[in-house]
Every structure is written in structure tokens, then in C-alpha cells.
Amino acid sequence: MTKINILSPDVIAKIAAGEAVDRPASVVKELLENAIDAGATSIEIHLKDAGKELIHIKDNGSGIGRDGLEKIFQRHATSKITAIEDLENLHSMGFRGEALYSISAVSDITLSTRTSQEEGWQIHIRGGVRQNLEPKALAQTGTDIKVAELFFNTPARRKFLKNNTSELNQILNIVLPYTLIYPDKSFVLTHAGRSLLDLRAAPSSLDRAAAVLNADMRHFLETDQEFVDEQIRIKLILGDINIQRPRRNLQFIFINNRPVESRNLSFNLNDVYKLILPPGVYGAFIVNITLNPSNVDVNIHPTKREVRLKDEARIISLLRRMTEYQLMHKGQTKEITDFSPPLGWGQETSFPLAGGVREGGLPADQVIFAPGQLQSHMLYPKDNKMSFPDNKTSFVEDANMRNFQLFGQENTLRAKFARAKFVGSFLQKYLLFEADESLLVVDQHAAQERIMFEKFRSQIEKSQVESQPLLTPVLLKLTPQEKIAWEENQEKLAAAGIETTQFDDDTIAVQTQPLLLKNIENVVRALLAGDEALRIDKDTLARRACKASVTSGDKLDGSQADYQRKQLLECLDPFTCPHGRPTVIEVNQTFLDRQFLRL
């Protein structure tokens, strides 16, 4: 039998630290919550090397007394609870007493503090070992804590930290929710002396939301409703149809002022947004649900990000009803500020879509251009005659015959697709082709994404991206995360045919746009989103851009559908989209005969 060992206190401390502290953002979260619990109205966070070298947090809260300093770095030392029953009546952010103990085990900490009743004191802890405790002259009450050399004694953990952009994004993801839920507090966040956030106390939650999310206040809907019988209060700030993002990065959920993650709540809110938003884009919302603390279990996850709610189905029902009413009855219509086409977009490659409606509800033949937006991502036939980019008629010249000669009478999907005939469409989403004894169903969205992806990737690889200057530059207000990504990746955007310049502190101007892409705002935001932003290869760059550019819902006539078929046949991998979904499926006669009991 293997010998059983009792772990040393040093090993236990480092294991415990790994449960609560895995990166600089974890440290910021714990210390930020401590400052809020201390009643601070002003919180400053200063970082060096994305928090790897230094995390310095200052607050004007109640401070810590001399006796408290002797205990706060011990495990399970807390002022928040005294008995198990207190877990059912929590009103504080922290309560486990793990944070400072865990952080001090893997860093060098200097904490200075002063209360209103005592003079200031300072304590120094390195690797869990106290170095000194001495008086410290401080001008005001509050706490000043410096966490240096994070993971200096656990190099395995330190080597898994990511680049500074990624770590800064994680820290911003931690800080931003607290700035939204506490508009009465001021927050400052700097990195290497450069300001990332500077938020003074705001007069209202709506003012703070507009400032943090960098969006127009006119496009927010605010409501506050209390359900007395259920002991539930729901506060909502919802972005209307004019705030759209390719990712869910403007969505925040709070339970009793605590930022949480809830798949069920998030799914249902996004499900309601489908009533007003097209597929592939997401709305903005800030939801704060106040419940009796006894109906919330906040102790199911080490970082307290996940909670369990009693009677969750009833909460979801109320939330859906409130959200749907606001979006459908209070929201504004989609704003389009400019109707002029981009510079250089000529008649040779500009074709009206057949049938359907375009953005704003106007008929398709009434062409609408948003600032810098191309009319269509597809080069459709005009007047039932094939038209090709740059008059290069050999691009897909007689694709049917060429593929037929290549594959002869082979019964492959490509051979069938090469000789297929268009027979109709379904839901402006699926194109139906007939070939021999088979029905071929094409996902026009996935097919167009594959076509664009291969063309765009080829242009990027050859450094020959075809782009055009925009008559009216597209102005994009960036979130703090997007701003960091843009500052470090302007060259990659330019390599993709997207020239950008800084317009003001929080806004960039998009000056050029690739000819193959539309929805340039969605494209840029998709490329600037995510932990790694543009630190990706050319394939991923093209894949993200094309996914953000293509939208479903265009109604194609027979010549347009057939043109897309020929374009798809030109692709190296025509039968899957860049994300692995099929573009074409085959339904044969035998299958249909069986369904109709003919066999």
C-alpha cells in the first residue's frame, strides 16, 4: 500500500491559492470585492506588466485595525460570517476568508491601512511568511495594498499566464461589472501609467452604463419592477435594436449586486432578443435581480461566479415578460444615418437583390447604404446575365461544363452538384437543386461564407486584399477591451484591408473596407473581440471576418442561386463552411419514397 503523507502547511497554502487565484484577474477580483465590502466610494487599480509584476489597489473604505492585521492573512479569517446560518443571509461580496491567505502564499504583499479610530499600520508578507508589522503614517482612512511578483514561488503557474493583452482583458472583464452595478463609486484603472478607465461617480445607472459600454444613452431602455408576493425586484437596462454586437460582451447579470454567470438567464434573455435582432448578433443588457438571500446559494463555486436560485423558473418567466415588453413596445427603430454609397462602388458590381426587404423594412430594389456599407456580399447576376469582378469573365466561366468533364458521370456529390438545376428556395435560407434522382439542399449562408472565406484568405496570403476607401468613415466607439486589442493590432487590420485611425480617446474611424466584406462594424468588432483578439493565423483572421460579414435572409432568384452554386464549385472545399458545418446535403429519391410508403 502506498504510504499516506500529511501535506506540509506550505504545500497546503499553495494548493489553496490555486483554487482561488489562478491569474492576476483573480487577485483583482478578490481585492476589489474587499474594497467594496469596506464601503469604499473611490477605488484605484494600478497595474504593471498586466498585474504580473504589480497589482496596486487603493480605497477610501473603513480600513483595518491593528488587531485585524494580525488575523487577515490567516486561513478562514473573515469578518463577514460567524456561523453556518449566516450563509443564508449574506449581504457581502466575500465571506470565506480565503482571499488574502491565498494571495499572500504566492506573492509579495505590502498592505497599509488606517481606520477612523486608529493611526495607520503596515504589514509585509512574502510567500505566506510575515516579514514585519509596523506603524505607518497615512493621511486618510482606507487601505492601500500592493501585490508584487505574483507566482514568484510557483513558476509552473506563472508560465501558464498569457500575453499582456489577454491578461488585461481578463482584468477588465472582472472590473467592468462592478463599475456598472455601483455607479455611485468612482473607479480608476491604469496600466504602466496609461489610463484604461477613469469613471467618476455617476448620477444614475443609465449614465454609468452609457459611459462604460461607450454607447449612446438614447439607445438604452431602463425599467425597475418589484414583485412583492415573490420577494423579487428586477432592474433592467436593455440596449435596443441599435446596439448590436457579434459577441455577448455587452451582457451582464447580477444577483443581489453580485456579478454572476447563469446559462439559463442568459439563454432566455438572448432568446427574447431574437424578436428584434438578426441571427448571429447579440444585444446589450444589464440585469440586476434582488432576492431574499435565503433563496440564493452563492457557495457552490470557489470564485462565487455561479449561483443557485430557488424557483428559477418563476424568475425567468418574470424576466422574459419584462424584457419582451420593453423591446417590443419601448424600443426605437433601427437608425440609418447615411444613404450614399461608398467611394468607388460602381454599377458594374452593384446589383439589387431580388425580392425580400432590406434593413429598415424598405423593398430590396430601394438600395440602402449605411455609412461605408457595401450593398451586398454576393456578386449577383444582373438582368439574368452573368457579371464578374474586374471583367475577368474566366473566373467561373462555364463551371458546369468544366466540372462535368472533370468528373464525367461519376456519382459523387460534386458531380451531381455540377449538373444540378435550381428548383426553388425555402425560408430565404435554403436553396433547392435537382440532380438526377436526388434533391440537393444548400445552406446559402454557409455556402456564401465558404466562398468568401477562400477568396479572402487567398487575398490575405498574397497581400493583395482588394479594398476601397469609404466615402464616409465608419466611426466605432470601442469598449476598453476592444481599445486594447485595436492599439496592438492595427497592422493586422490593415493587412486584411481595413485601414483605421484614432478619432478620439474612445473612438476609431474605419477608412477602408475589403470589397468582399460587408457589415464592416460587425467585422471589426468580431476581430477585436476575445482574449486573443487578432493574435491568430491568417485562416482564423479570414474565418472571423467572413462569419461577421455574411448575414442570412437574402432572397435569391434562380440566376442568383445558380451563380452561387458555380462559385461554390470553384472552392477547394465546397461542402463545408469554414466552421465545419455542411453547405450542401443530399436527399435521394429512395429516402423520399420510404417516407411516402412507396417502397
Q: Are residues 88 and 108 in the same domain?
A: yes
Mean pLDDT of 535-557: 66
State how far Cα 381 lies from the chain centre.
37
Instruction: Give the end of a domain, one of 330, 365, 395.
Output: 330
CATH number of the domain within which 73 lies: 3.30.565.10
Is it the case that residue 22 has pLDDT exceeding 90?
no
Tens-digit pLDDT profile for residues 256-285:
999 998 889 999 999 999 888 877 789 999
**Domain shared by 261 and 393, yes or no:** no
Question: Would the pLDDT of 49 be above 90?
Answer: yes
- Same domain, yes or no: 429 and 505: yes
Clarify whether residues 293 and 174 are in a common domain: no
Number of folded domains that form the chain: 3
> Could you give the maximum distance between any two Cα atoms of the chain, in Å?
93
The pLDDT tens digits of the residues spanning 400-435 come to 333 333 333 456 778 888 888 888 888 878 889 988
Going through 376-459 in order, the beta strands assigned E by DSSP cover 421-426, 430-435, 438-443
pLDDT in the model for residue 376 = 34
pLDDT number for residue 599: 66
Domain CATH for 511: 3.30.1370.100
Give the rounded percent of residues in the chain with a pLDDT score beyond 90.
30
Q: DSSP secondary-structure letter at 49?
A: G
Q: What is the pLDDT of residue 374?
A: 32
Measured between its terminal Cα atoms, the distance across the chain in Å is: 66
pLDDT of amino acid 504: 85
Strands across the sheet with 584-588, in order?
421-426, 430-435, 438-443, 584-588
Assess whether 181 and 214 both reside in one domain. no
Give the three cell numbers for residue 33: 470585492
Is the same domain home to 216 and 189?
A: no
Is residue 519 a contact partner of residue 373, using CB atoms and an 8 Å limit?
A: yes
- The cell for 339 is 444613404
Residue span of the structural domain in which 541 resides: 347-586
Domain boundary among 304, 330, 356: 330
**Residue 6: HSE in the Cβ half-sphere, 13 Å Cα cutoff:** 1
Listed ranges 188-197, 358-367, 379-388, 517-526; the one with the highest mean pLDDT: 188-197
Supply the DSSP symbol for 431. E
Residues in contact with 266: Cβ distance below 8 Å, sequence separation at least 6, in sequence order: 248, 251, 253
Q: At what angle do helices 520-528 and 538-549 cross, to 10 degrees?
A: 140
Are residues 415 and 292 part of one domain? no
Distance CA 34, CA 73 (A): 13
Least confident range from 160-174, 296-310, 356-370, 443-457: namely 356-370
> 81-95, 304-318, 344-358, 402-416: which has the highest mean pLDDT?
304-318
- pLDDT surpassing 70 at residue 169: yes
Residue 397: the pLDDT is: 36
Q: Is residue 593 part of a domain?
A: no
User: Can you tell me the mean pLDDT for 372-378?
Assistant: 35
Based on the fold, state whether residues 391 and 460 are members of the same structural domain.
yes
Q: How far apart are CA 291 and CA 286, in angstroms?
A: 16
pLDDT value of residue 159: 85
The CA distance from 84 to 70, in Å, is 24
Q: How confident is the model at residue 534 (pLDDT cuts 50, 70, 90)?
A: low
Residue 334 binned pLDDT confidence (cut-offs 50, 70, 90): low
In sequence order, the β-bridge partners of residue 291 are 232
Q: List, for residues 478-533, the tens digit of each pLDDT value.
A: 888 888 888 887 888 888 888 888 888 889 998 888 877 777 887 888 878 765 55
Confirm if 174 and 45 have CB atoms less than 8 A apart: no
Q: pLDDT for 281-322, tens place per residue?
A: 899 999 999 998 888 876 555 555 677 788 889 999 999 999
Same domain, 458 and 506: yes
Residues 438 and 501 in one domain: yes
Asked whether the beta carbons of 187 and 43 are under 8 A apart, the reply is yes
Residues across the chain: 599
31-45, 237-251, 408-422, 501-515: which has the minimum mean pLDDT? 408-422
Q: Confirm whether 223 is domain-assigned.
A: yes
